[in-house]
Structure 1
Amino acid sequence: MKLKEIERTAVEVWSPANNHPIYLATGTSAQQLDASFSTNATLEIFEVDFRDPSLDMKQKGTLPASNRFHKLIWGNFGNGSPESSGVIIGGGDNGVLTMYSAHRILASKSDPVIGQTEKHSGPVRALDFNPFQSNLLASGANDSEIFIWDLNNFSVPMTPGTKSQPHEDISVVSWNRQVQHILSSAHPSGKAVVWDLRKNEPIIKVSDHSNRMHCSGMAWHPEVATQLVLSSEDDRLPVIQIWDLRFATSPLSQLEGHTRGVLSVSWCQADPELLLSSAKDNRILCWNPSTGEVVYELPIRSQWCFDVQWCPRNPSVFSAATFDGWINIYSVMGGNLEAQQKTQADKISSSFNNLDPFGTGQTLPPLQVPEQVAQTTLIPPLKKPPKWIRRPVGVSFAFGGKLITFGLTKAPGQQTQQTYPHQVFISQVTTETEFLLRSRELQMALQSGNLLDYCKGKIQTAKLKYEENLWKFLKVNLEQESRTKLLKLLGYSKEDLQKKITSCLSNGIPDKQTLPEADDTNTAQPDQLLINSSDDVAAVSSSSAFFDNLIPQNMSTLEIPVTEDTDGLISQALLLGNFEGAVELCMRAERFADAIILAIAGGENLLKETQKRYFAKRKTKLSLLLSSIVQQKWQDIVCTCDLQSWKEALAILLTYSKHEDYTQLCDMLGSRLELEGDASLSNDACLCYISSGNVERLVECWVKNHETSSPLAFAGSHRESDGAEQVH
C-alpha cells in the first residue's frame, strides 16, 4: 500500500537506521530529464512522517548541486556528536564524488559540502559504506575503477587490488554484511568479483556461463556471509541468481518471476527471507529467497521502477523511484485504499473552494462520471509474517529441571530451498547434582511406598539435632497411633504421668500454689462493692454479656507448668487428656471448683462421679438440696424433706421434674402429708392432689378430713362427692 509520494526525477536514499525522525534524501538524476528539460541539479531532504495520513512529505532541507547524481548514499560518519545526522555521498558525472553534511542541509547552514574529489575517470555509479567502519566508503566508476575512501582523509583513496580484466564499468559495489574486509563488485557483463582487502586482491569471480547475464544489481545475504544475489537486466534472462561462494561453479538457485529484465534488487536487513526486485515489466516483487516464492506484489504501474530500497529504520517500508518522475513509499503490510482515495478527493474539492472557484455563489453542477468497473481497494499484506514481528525464541521451565525452548532454525547455505519444520527442544538442566541424587532417592521411595525406611535412613544420617527431630516427626506421622507417639516425642507419656500421679497421691506432696492471705481488716473486696445481692448478680450477668465477648487488650501470657508439684501434675495430665487423674488431684487438694470444671470437660460419667464425691465430702445445710437437684433425685426430696417445707418441695417438683414423673411425685408428697402430718398438713395434702390432677385421691382425702356424725353433714358430703365424681 502506498504511504507517501513525491514528484521528483531523482535518485533516492534513506537516512541511517539510528536517525530519527526518518528522512529521505533525493538528488536530481543524471540519467533523466524532467518535463521542463532543466539541467539544474538539487539535493533535497524530506521528512517521512507516517503519522500524517496524507501522501505528501515535508521538505526539511534543500541545496543546489553542481552535478547531477548517478548514486546517493547516506552514512553514519560523524554521528558521534549530538548535532550530526551523518553524511550524504553523491556520485556524479566526470568522476565527481561529493560529501555533504546532512545536519548543515537540514539546518540551512553554510558550507554543507565538507569534501569533494574528482579521482574517478568517469561517472560514479556505485557507492557503499562499510557496515562495521562508518569512515570507509567504496566507490566504483568506469574502466573497472574501484576506490576505498577513508572519510577522515578524503583526498587520497586506496584500491582493493589490481583492476579486473577486461576493463568495464562498475555497476554495483557492496560490502559483506558479516566480514568487514570483504568487498564485491558487479559488472554489466554479468561478472561479480569478490575482493579481500587484507590480501589486496580478488579472491573469487563468479559469472553466468550463458553470457546473457547483464548485471544490474547485487546484494549480500544479511546473515550468511558466503551468499549473494545478482540480478539480470537482459530481457532474454530476467532472473535473480543466488550464489554461494563455496559452490561458485553455478548459481545455487534462480528466482524466475519477471517477464523482462530486472533493474534493481534490495535485500531486507531485518529479514533475510524478504528480497525486493523491480523490472522492466513494471512489477515490484518481494521474494522469499529460501523457497523462491513471491510473498508480495505491488499492483502493476505504467512506468519502470529503476530503484527500490528498504527503509533501514522501519523494515516494513520501502521506496521506489520510477522513470516517470515519481518517488513512492510503500508498506508490505497491506492496507485499504478507500480512505486514501477519499482524502485525495477532499483535497481536490477544497482546492476549488467547494466547487465554487469563481465566487459566484453558485456551485458547479455535479460531474457525470461514467460508471467504472469496481476495483479492489484492499491490498493484501505479505503471505508470511516478517521476522521482526515473529517471536524469535521462547523458553519455559518445567518440573524436574526440564527446559522447553523453541527458536528459528537457520538452514545451511547449501539447503536454502528446503523448508524446515518448527521444532521444540526439551533439555535437562542440572545445577545441583547432590539435590538431584536426593530427589531420585525420594522418587524411588515414593514409587515403592517404603517411606518408613526412607525416614529411618534420614534419621541415621542426620547431622543436626533439628534434622533428626524433623525426620522423627515425619516417620511417626506415617505410623499407626501417630498422636500418642508424637506426645512421646514431645516428652509426655501417659504411663510415666500415671506413675507420677500415684506417687503424688500416696506421698501427699503439698500443693505449692500460692493463695492470697486472708485480710483481718474489714475492707470490702471489689466483688462485694459491686455485687450486693442475687438480683444484682443476675442484672450484672445479663448486662455484661457484651463485654464478656470482647477480647482483652492486655492478656497475660499463658504459662503451662510442668513441675512435680500438684499444679505441674495437673497441667501434665491435661496435656495428655487424663481428666480422671486431674480431677483426682484436685479433689485430693480440696480444689473442688477446679475438679467440677475439669469433670464437666471430662464427660458426663466423670461429672456424676465427681459430684457424688463432692457431696459426700461437703456436709452443709444446702448440700442435700444441692445433691438432690444436681443429681435429679426428686424422690429423695419428696421422701426426706421436712413436712413443714412441703411447699418448697412442691416448688422443686414444679420447677425441675419431668411431666411424666410429676403426677406420681405429687401423689407421693400428698400421701406423706396425709399419713405423717397433723390435721392441717392432712388438709394440705389435698393441694398436692389438686396439683397432680388426681381427683379420686383428692375426694378421698377431702371426705376423710370432713367426716362428721351429723346426717346433714354426711348427706352434704355425699353431694359434694357426687360433684367431684362428675368433675372427674
Structure 2
Amino acid sequence: MAVQIQGSASIAFSQQRPVRLAAARHPGNNNDNTAGLALIDIDGTVLARSGLGSRYTSIAWSKADSIKGEELGIIAASHSDGVIDLISASKLLDGQEQSLLGNIQTKINPFIQLDFSQHAEGLLLAVSTRDIRLYDISAGIDNIVEYSKKEGLELDLNEQYVSAKWNKKVNKVFGVLNSKGVMITYKVNDQDKTYSQWTIIDGGHLQKDKEEQEENQKEKNIQYESLDFNSVIATQFVIIGQIEGKGSVRVFDMRNANDPIIDFILDNQQQQVNKTQKKDKEVKSIKNNKLVSVDWCSADPNYIVACNEEGISYCWSLASKRLLGELNIKQQSKVK
C-alpha cells in the first residue's frame, strides 16, 4: 500500500489492535497548511488529521495506558527544534481539539527517530545523529524523567547514528545503526551494556562482532537509513537504505548471520524486485526510491512499512513476500 502526505513522511504502527498507522510530514520546502499528522486504518481509510501546518522529524506510537487513562496510547512527534509533542491517540481519533497533552523540551536539534518500548510502559527512545536519550513518561506529562540520566546510561557517541529502535521482544534492549552499516545492541541498566555487534559487509552479508571492515568488504554505493525489530522473533530485524540509488528493504536474522532472509528492492523502472523469490512485481507510483523511515508492525508482524522522501509509504506482507495495495491520505484509497 502507499500512504502519501505532502512532503516527506515518518510512520509508526499502533502497538495494539486494530492495526492502525500514524503518518507525519517531515520539515520541507512546502508552505501549505495541510495536516501534518494523520491516523489511517490498515484498509486505507483516513481516520483523523491533526497538526495544521506542522512538520515532524519523527513520530512513535506507545502501547495502551503508557500514561494512565490513555487507552489507545500516546503519539510522540518531534519538531526540528528538538521539542517532542505528546499527543493522545484516543482524543485525536475522537476529533477533540485538545489532543496535544504536552511536550518534552530538549536542546537536541533535531531528533531523527523516536521509538516507544513495548515492555517498559512510557519509555521513549530518542536519537539524533550524535546523541541518544531515554525519557520515561509513565508518571504523567508533569513528571517526565530523563531515564538515561537516572540509570546512568553511557553510550559511545563517536559514531554518526542514523537510527535506533527498541527490540520488541526483549525488555530494555535496543539497537543502534550507524552510517557505516554497524548495528550494536545495548541493554539499559546492565553493567555490560553492549550486547552484540553486527556489521553488513559487501553483498549484504551480516557478520557478528566485526568492528572494522576492510575497504574491499564495504558495501558499495549504499546509504543506511533506519532499522526496526520483529515483535515475535527477537533475533530478526529490518534495515532500509539505498543501494546504487534503489530503495532497499532487508530482513536479517542474527541466528543465521549471513544473507538476508528477505531482500526487497525498489528500482527506477517502477518495479519491486523480490530477490528472494527472483521475481519482479509491478508497483505503481514509485517516483522516489530513497527510503527514510521503517516500522515493523507490533500488533501483526506480517507487516513492514517504509516511506520515501516524497511521503509515499510502502507496506510489505512478509507472508506473501510482496508489496500490498495503495493508500492515499489526500483521498479515499483503493486497497488491492
Query: TM-score, normalised on structure 2?
Result: 0.69
What per-residue deviation string (whole Å, max 9, x for no partner) do you get for residues 433-482 of structure 1?
Answer: xxxxxxxxxxxxxxxxxxxxxxxxxxxxxxxxxxxxxxxxxxxxxxxxxx
| Structure 1 alignment gaps of length 5 or more | 51-55, 256-272, 341-346, 348-378, 380-728
Q: Which residue of 2 aligns with 1:162?
A: 154
SS across alignment from 1:109: coil
Greater strand share, 1 or 2? 2
Q: Which residue of 1 aligns with 2:99?
A: 112
Say if 2:109 is the partner of 1:122: yes
Q: Which residue of 1 aligns with 2:72?
A: 85
Say if 2:283 is the partner of 1:299: yes
Q: Which residue of 1 aligns with 2:173?
A: 182
SS across alignment from 1:104: helix
Percentage of matched positions with identical amino acids: 14
C-alpha spacing 1:17/1:93, structure 2 compared with 1 (3 Å)? closer
Amino acid at match of 2:9: V
Contact 2:6 2:311 in 1 (8 A): yes
1:27 CA drift (Å): 1.5
SS across alignment from 1:124: coil
Q: Distance in 2 between matches of 1:309 and 1:69?
A: 16
Contact 1:72 1:90 in 2 (8 A): yes
Q: Which residue of 2 aligns with 1:103?
A: 90
Match of 2:23 among 22, 26, 46: 26
Q: Distance in 2 between matches of 1:179 and 1:314?
A: 17
C-alpha spacing 1:42/1:87, structure 2 compared with 1 (3 Å)? same
Contact 2:229 2:296 in 1 (8 A): no
What per-residue deviation string (whole Å, max 9, x for no partner) do you get for residues 636-658 of structure 1?
Answer: xxxxxxxxxxxxxxxxxxxxxxx
Q: Which residue of 2 aligns with 1:588?
A: none
What per-residue deviation string (whole Å, max 9, x for no partner) do you get for residues 88-145 of structure 1?
Answer: 11122122222111122222334322231232522111222212223112111131x1
Q: Distance in 1 between matches of 2:314 and 2:175?
A: 29
Match of 1:199 among 175, 190, 196: 190
Contact 1:185 1:194 in 2 (8 A): yes
Greater helix share, 1 or 2? 1
Contact 1:241 1:253 in 2 (8 A): no
Contact 1:46 1:61 in 2 (8 A): yes
Q: Distance in 1 between matches of 2:253 and 2:296?
A: 21
Say if 2:257 is the partner of 1:252: yes
Q: Distance in 2 between matches of 1:29 and 1:94?
A: 13
Say if 2:51 is the partner of 1:63: yes
Q: Distance in 2 between matches of 1:163 and 1:310?
A: 25
Amino acid at match of 2:197: K
What per-residue deviation string (whole Å, max 9, x for no partner) do you get for residues 203-232 of structure 1?
Answer: 433334134464323233555544545455
5 Å-filtered alignment, 1:514-529, equals none
Q: Which residue of 1 aligns with 2:61?
A: 74
Q: Which residue of 1 aligns with 2:329?
A: none
Amino acid at match of 1:252: A
Q: Distance in 2 between matches of 1:202 and 1:318?
A: 27
C-alpha spacing 1:243/1:23, structure 2 compared with 1 (3 Å)? closer
Q: Distance in 2 between matches of 1:165 and 1:313?
A: 32
Q: Distance in 2 between matches of 1:81 and 1:94?
A: 28
What per-residue deviation string (whole Å, max 9, x for no partner) do you get for residues 267-325 of structure 1?
Answer: xxxxxx7x5745464554567xxxx4457845263332624545555666665534445
Q: Distance in 2 between matches of 1:162 and 1:298?
A: 46
C-alpha spacing 1:317/1:228, structure 2 compared with 1 (3 Å)? closer
Amino acid at match of 1:233: Q
Q: Distance in 1 between matches of 2:68 and 2:108?
A: 34
Contact 1:79 1:85 in 2 (8 A): no
1:186 CA drift (Å): 0.7
> Could you say which structure has the greater relative contact order, defined with CA pairs below 8 angstroms and 6 or more residues apart?
2
Larger Rg: 1
Q: Distance in 2 between matches of 1:239 and 1:100?
A: 30
Match of 2:224 among 210, 215, 221: 215
C-alpha spacing 1:171/1:297, structure 2 compared with 1 (3 Å)? farther
Q: Distance in 1 between matches of 2:170 and 2:323?
A: 38
Amino acid at match of 1:139: A
1:28 CA drift (Å): 1.7
Q: Distance in 1 between matches of 2:313 and 2:12?
A: 12
1:242 CA drift (Å): 3.5
Contact 2:78 2:84 in 1 (8 A): yes
RMSD between aligned alpha carbons?
Answer: 4.1
Contact 1:14 1:24 in 2 (8 A): yes
SS across alignment from 2:81: helix
C-alpha spacing 1:293/1:221, structure 2 compared with 1 (3 Å)? farther
Contact 1:311 1:318 in 2 (8 A): yes
Q: Which residue of 1 aligns with 2:7?
A: 9
Say if 2:218 is the partner of 1:233: no
Contact 2:123 2:135 in 1 (8 A): yes
Q: Distance in 1 between matches of 2:53 and 2:323?
A: 38
Query: TM-score, normalised on structure 1?
Result: 0.35
5 Å-filtered alignment, 1:123-162, equals 123-143=110-130, 145-153=131-139, 155-159=144-148, 161-162=153-154
Contact 1:86 1:101 in 2 (8 A): yes
Amino acid at match of 2:147: M
Contact 1:44 1:59 in 2 (8 A): no
1:150 CA drift (Å): 0.9
Contact 1:192 1:205 in 2 (8 A): yes
Q: Distance in 1 between matches of 2:102 and 2:239?
A: 32
